[in-house]
């Protein structure tokens, strides 16, 4: 045999041997792949999702807004008459009680006039007594007796008028409160236009805020209000006591709540962040809003059942930013799918990554 022919036969044998070896190797690997893993198309159809067990819980809705703290009462103190101030009986920034004498103007002329009338009173009363005794004996006329009585009544009226004018020279606290800085000194001339000081009642405090018209029907007397102040860690609670009779130009309803402020720690004039609770459901089936899928005018959710996603139509009630109440369609204990809702469809195979 020729030498070239031998090399050709040897090369052909090597090629055939390599081909057979490769074929056997591929056949050995193919069955193993089928046993260890599902087909690629099957793996692609399984969706990983999160879920939660449906339970009953409390759900409430409310309004967040800005409020202003107002005093329960506040007044500029002024005299009702004119005169020189003789007394100032209060210390600035202290608590005063209703009826306390705060200041007084000169009343000496009035006191002298009162003394004069009171001195005449005894004589006028004796005259009426004598005229009455004489009238019983027909010693005087009825007209003389009536004149004596009229003079006595006039004198009593003059005394009452002078006492009233003396009362106008006294500046008394109209209610319990904290008196502010005074604007006059003893010896100054006071008149009804001169403000002596400001009196503020800070216990309780009024919390004034406004709510949008869509919530107007849900705010009532007794509605609980929670407010927070800058620099204060804990929230404060108040109760609505008054509601405006109409909406303002911005279609907002004015509302006022009362906070006891028994320790007078909070001062009027501060701004507060207010939360007013409008509705509350004690035993509600509540789900996250992202679990709801609106479709053709109805709401539905997907439940996890036997490894698949199954749609359920629901009716909703109270809604908040993060939660929604389910009135019908769900029961406690259902496993609700809460993620991947846009990818879900009826019967899709799903795998639970997390259950809350």
- Give the model's confidence band at 282: pLDDT under 50 very low, under 70 low, under 90 confident, else very high: confident
Domain boundary among 280, 296, 318: 280
Q: What is the pTM of this model?
A: 0.65
- Give mean pLDDT, residues 152-162: 94
d(CA 87, CA 257): 39
Q: Is the pLDDT of residue 240 over 60?
A: yes
Same domain, 156 and 123: yes
Q: Examine residue 41 and state whether it is found in any structural domain, yes or no.
A: no
Task: Indicate the number of domains in the chain.
Answer: 3
- At residue 143, the 3 state secondary structure works out as helix
Same domain, 286 and 269: no
The CATH number of whichever domain residue 208 belongs to comes to 2.40.30.170
Same domain, 168 and 218: no
What pLDDT does 45 receive? 72
Q: Is the pLDDT of residue 313 over 80?
A: yes
d(CA 70, CA 66): 13
Q: Is beta strand 83-88 parallel, antiparallel or unpaired with respect to 236-243?
A: unpaired
Domain boundary among 170, 190, 210: 190
Domain boundary among 229, 246, 280: 280
The CATH number of whichever domain residue 339 belongs to comes to 2.40.420.20
By residue range, what is the domain housing residue 107?
Answer: 76-190
Same domain, 114 and 219: no
Q: What share of the chain has pLDDT > 70, as a percent?
A: 88
Same domain, 172 and 205: no
Same domain, 220 and 271: yes
- Give mean pLDDT, residues 229-237: 92
Q: Examine residue 318 and state whether it is found in any structural domain, yes or no.
A: yes
Q: Examine residue 21 and state whether it is found in any structural domain, yes or no.
A: no
Same domain, 158 and 184: yes
- Give mean pLDDT, residues 96-120: 94
- Give mean pLDDT, residues 172-185: 95
């Amino acid at each position: 045999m020729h030498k070239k022919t031998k090399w050709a036969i040897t090369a052909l044998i090597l090629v055939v041997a390599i081909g057979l070896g490769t074929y056997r190797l591929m056949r050995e690997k193919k069955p193993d792949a089928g046993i260890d893993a599902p087909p690629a198309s099957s793996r692609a159809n399984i969706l990983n999702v999160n879920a939660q067990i449906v339970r009953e819980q409390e759900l409430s809705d409310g309004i967040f807004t800005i409020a202003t703290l107002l005093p329960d009462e506040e007044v500029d103190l002024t005299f009702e008459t004119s005169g020189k101030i003789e007394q100032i009986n209060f210390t600035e920034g202290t608590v005063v009680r209703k009826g306390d004498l705060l200041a007084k103007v000169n009343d000496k002329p009035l006191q002298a006039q009162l003394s004069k009338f009171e001195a005449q009173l005894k004589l006028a009363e004796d005259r009426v007594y004598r005229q009455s005794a004489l009238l019983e004996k027909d010693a005087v006329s009825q007209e003389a007796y009536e004149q004596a009585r009229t003079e006595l009544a006039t004198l009593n009226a003059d005394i009452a008028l002078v006492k009233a004018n003396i009362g106008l020279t006294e500046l008394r606290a109209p209610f319990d409160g904290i008196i502010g800085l005074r604007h006059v000194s003893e010896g100054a001339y006071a008149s009804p236009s001169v403000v002596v000081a400001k009196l503020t009642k800070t216990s309780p405090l009024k919390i004034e805020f406004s709510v949008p018209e869509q919530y107007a029907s849900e705010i009532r007397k007794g509605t609980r209000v929670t407010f927070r102040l800058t620099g204060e860690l804990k929230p404060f609670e108040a109760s609505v006591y008054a509601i405006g009779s109409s909406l303002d130009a911005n279609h907002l309803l004015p509302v006022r709540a009362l906070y006891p402020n028994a320790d007078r720690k909070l001062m009027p004039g501060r701004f507060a962040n207010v939360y007013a609770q409008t509705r509350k459901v004690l035993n509600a089936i509540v789900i996250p809003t992202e679990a709801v899928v609106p479709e053709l005018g109805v709401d539905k959710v997907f439940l996890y059942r036997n490894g698949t996603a199954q749609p359920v139509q629901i009716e909703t009630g109270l809604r908040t930013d993060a939660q929604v109440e389910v009135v019908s369609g769900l029961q406690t204990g259902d496993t609700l799918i809460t993620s991947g809702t846009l990818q879900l469809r009826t019967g899709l195979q799903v795998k639970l990554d997390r259950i809350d």
